Amino acid sequence: MPKTPRLASNGGIAKSNPYVGAAARKPAKSSGSNNNIFKMNTDIGQHILKNPGVAQAIVDKADLKQSDIVLEIGPGTGNLTARILEKAKKVIAVEQDPRMAAEVTKRFQGTPQGKRLELILGDAIKMEKFPYFDVCISNTPYQISSPLTFRLLATSPPPRSCILMFQREFAMRLFAKPGDKLFSRLSVNAQMWAKVDHVMKVGKNNFNPPPQVESNVVRITPKNPRPRVSYDEWDGLLRICFVRKNRVLRQAFLGTTSVMDMLEGNYRTFCAQNEIILDDSPLDPAAVEASMDVDMAPVEEEAEEPSAMDLDDEDDVPSFFKEPAPRVKTPARKARGRVSALVRTKVNKVLTTDTQLENKRARLCDEGDFLRMLVAFNEEGIHFA
């Protein structure tokens, strides 16, 4: 694979450096006024943090040690970078925009701090692997909030902590608790793999140019060791539960044909993998009707208010966080019969007998509830991946 291009970190710009011309052509400006050198590309989330007090507070909250290697995603013109270099052993900055990379290079060229700065040109999300780091600090481009969060959580060995700036509503969803309006699949996923704490609010006037939304800083501390739970199984369960988070779980499973069809297919795969012979003979019409009527009394559902951040179910988690499962040929599906009825019985047993969560809504369930469901389903041979 082609190597990621890097800027020299020896206190000067190497002759082969692609930014030599760009940096040399820029008019001399003080490091504090770099923000107005060129027009920011807000389409890729370029909003430079200009308030030095906020920048210092973010770095202070990271509790850096002199031996720390810090990964910074999107250094911009280096306002955070300069303060991190005052406390850390080394900064590895990943910048996608060559113009920004040139400004950061020029800002620290020939300085003692420049010798401890490594600049990588590229898209952080598309990097095959992050270099080793102890702490991540980022004024995060809002467009990559979800994939960056889970990319950091998937990093091995896990970092000590991550101090990340996010759009306010996204940040609030990360640390939302059961019952909160913003509690979602993202909340459960993030809190399963890490401890998430709110650090501070940051107004939009602290940026140049100002974004359209307010921001929050959060601290994400990955759990070490990571929970011994299959991510595919865990997220598959959550996707079903949070399709409509105000729907009771009985309706989310037994009342949704597509969900039951998916679980039946997965159960057939499980049986094929474990050489379990299924009786797939058809049921008589009366038995089919009875199997479809398993405790399906209508339940009044609470109205859900739409939110700009509700569309997280498709893209919250990047594929690299998941472990690929071996592909097993599933037997051709026959007409709905005894297997379908068996799966419905198993699902009903898990919800009503094993966990007693059939009338609970996903937005009110905590991590323990979802774990109990996952274990109970798996013990019945029902899988979500």
Instruction: Determine, yes or no, domain membership for 331.
Output: yes
For residue 339, give its domain range: 231-293+308-380
Q: Is-contact 19 7, C-beta < 8 A?
A: yes
Any known ligand binding at 255? Answer: no
Please tell me the total number of residues recorded for the chain in this structure: 385
**Which residue is listed with tokens 């995603």?**
73
- The three-state secondary structure class of 221 is strand
Domain boundary among 188, 203, 222: 222
Q: What is the pLDDT of residue 3?
A: 53
Residue 13 pLDDT > 50, yes or no?
A: no
| CA distance linking residue 99 with residue 188, whole number of Å | 38
pTM of the model: 0.75
Q: Given this model, what pLDDT does residue 47 score?
A: 86
Q: Looking at the domain assignment, is residue 132 inside a domain?
A: yes
Q: Does 74 show up as a binding residue in the annotation?
A: yes
Helix H segments across the chain? 20-25, 52-61, 79-85, 98-108, 145-153, 168-174, 185-193, 231-241, 249-254, 257-273, 285-291, 338-349, 367-379
Query: What average pLDDT does the structure give for the chain?
Result: 83
| pLDDT at residue 273 is higher than 90 | yes
* Average pLDDT over every residue of 137-161: 93
Q: Are residues 142 and 243 in the same domain?
A: no
pLDDT in tens, 69-109: 999 999 999 999 999 999 999 999 999 999 999 999 999 99
Are both 139 and 245 inside the same structural domain?
no
| Cα separation, 238 vs 377, whole angstroms | 13
Q: What is the DSSP-derived secondary structure letter of residue 34?
A: G
Q: What are phi and psi of 88, to 5 degrees?
A: -105, 165
Distance from C-alpha of 94 to C-alpha of 52, rounded to nearest angstrom: 21
Give the CATH number of the domain where residue 334 resides: 1.10.8.480
Task: Check residue 250 and give its pLDDT.
Answer: 96
Check pLDDT > 60 for residue 156.
Answer: yes
Residue 279 marked ligand-binding: no
Q: Which of 190, 222, 254 is the last residue of a domain?
A: 222
Residue 255 counted as domain residue: yes
Residue 300, marked binder: no
Assess whether 369 and 237 both reside in one domain.
yes
Residue 235 sits in the same domain as residue 192 = no
- Residue 47 known to bind ligand: yes
Q: Could you say which of 187, 222, 257 is where a domain stops?
A: 222
What is the number of structural domains in the chain? 2
pLDDT 10s digits, 304-324: 444 434 444 444 555 555 544
In terms of domains, do 218 and 283 share one? no
Is 34 part of any domain? no
Record the tokens describing residue 313, joined without a space: 């179910």
Instruction: List pLDDT tens digits, range 229-258.
Output: 998 999 999 999 999 889 999 999 999 999
Q: Is 78 annotated as a binding residue?
A: no
- CATH number of the domain encompassing residue 150: 3.40.50.150
